[in-house]
Chain A
């Protein structure tokens, strides 16, 4: 037995190389993630949209600088979000909660009342919490697998009246913290909607079932989202968002960029205004 083992040991020198390659790849991926962590807060401070210009001064596409100029007129501020593949989910959840906080503290009684009602809707009879958790259980998810995550979103919504913009920022800036739990729960809510409406989505999933698609493209952290996930999450939360697309294409400056509404039918206000640039989402503010 010992000699056969030695043969095997020698024959695995190729395997040793493979292991090294594999470990090097993992180490490199980790190093990239670490760099991103150091360079970008999870949720940054709001700045003027014109702060994006330096990134594009040498860009050959004419639409970027022109688009940033347009955005600077249309929007007061832009909040950068860490580009680690989770940016859409993080931008949406942060903006959704921050909008409620800002309205509650705006001094406008009607707006505050509306925000309170919206938070209550999300907690209570709305889809996200109780109904969503029921959906997840009926889809076969075990409570233990999402309980701590749904609890964070629930707690954020129930505590919205005592939340300040600063405490919300702090909550979302802790690595592995509460904001990250809320962000991942929104991935799970996205999955819940897609899986409970398979006929609506299956024709878009080439070679995938809703289950395999969600396991690969929705639930793992760090996987970027596409239009399909955005629609699913908005419908699950029963909210609408507006997304500006800054992709470098030239456009008619008098008309502006196309702010694309998602699930905005019958709504006046978007729960979040977002900016898309290829591969990335940030938050926009009109005021």
Chain B
């Protein structure tokens, strides 16, 4: 860690000289989407032939599909021809050169979240520290992973080094034409993460996109594939509690998890993309398809998510419980403020015998926002002895926001047991008066009450994440009182 600034600058220069010399002329595509664009993208990434075919198939299916309108959200139509589908990472000279050049509002938020100085710079996209971090992190984290046989790399790299694994599992959980945005993602995804945990291995580290080199600029169509082989375990953390600087408005990511016999994946997300300003201007459209397939018996997957960012969130991390005795869990906190809209929930598809699932959803609405839970629990005819428990709570702050619940239950097996509990409550004037009478600031009181409401979900998060998630709620709720 004794690297001086100068050495780091030297290093950056070297990296980019080598990496992008030949691509300078074509490092950002002109806006628009057609088969040629996809061919160029695939070619640029030197992908195997099967990948190009796969992308083209997805694109052709996408052309025949229609944008879904069933979600409880409202936004102007996305103009897909105005988007550029490939953009190389920015060169250091195009990035802010120091924290002085970064929006002071953004920096204030980082400070409130207690993020260390060099991490703030990385999040804000300052050139020097981005590389500085990657270099130091790479050496610390790569070794133990390699020793355990864990593969953790960009998916573009996996396509080069492990094409057979990618070919076998990519699209096996979320088929190319699963839905409109998944099809688009399949056609044009730029990069993302690939994880393979070998048989019987307990991954020695919590894997995090935040720590991975190349995590920045993976673009708006991110693709993640995680395979947990028989008897393995991995905890994967996605995202970061600080608002990410991002110029893309539409995000359509796909995450696929594959679990073989006795495997376990714990997938935690903290999503805090730019939510737009207090008048509802700007903000990210976050249209994400996340799904896990428990194909092995006794496998277990947990989705834990804290969603506070994005102007529009449209996301249903789901579990296909195919293996007998497999377990699916979904723990969610979704907070909306100002003019944010969220339509989020899960799908639990019970196929195997004695499969079980748990859904705990906490929706918090403030300002003029709208927050919907949408969940499907389905028992197929073969799901003998399967059971589900769903608890779905909404908390309202103020009287101009909305909370909605859309539960769907389909049972084709008489032995299946399903329980559904739902509550709606308000941060009451009495609670606020009690807190204030004890000397507590109104904003601190709201944040404490909301944290209490979310407790059941926060306890599922890895420790440091839970602390940060609490702080994040506090920052996200600013201005929700009075």
- Verify that A and B bind, or say they do not: no
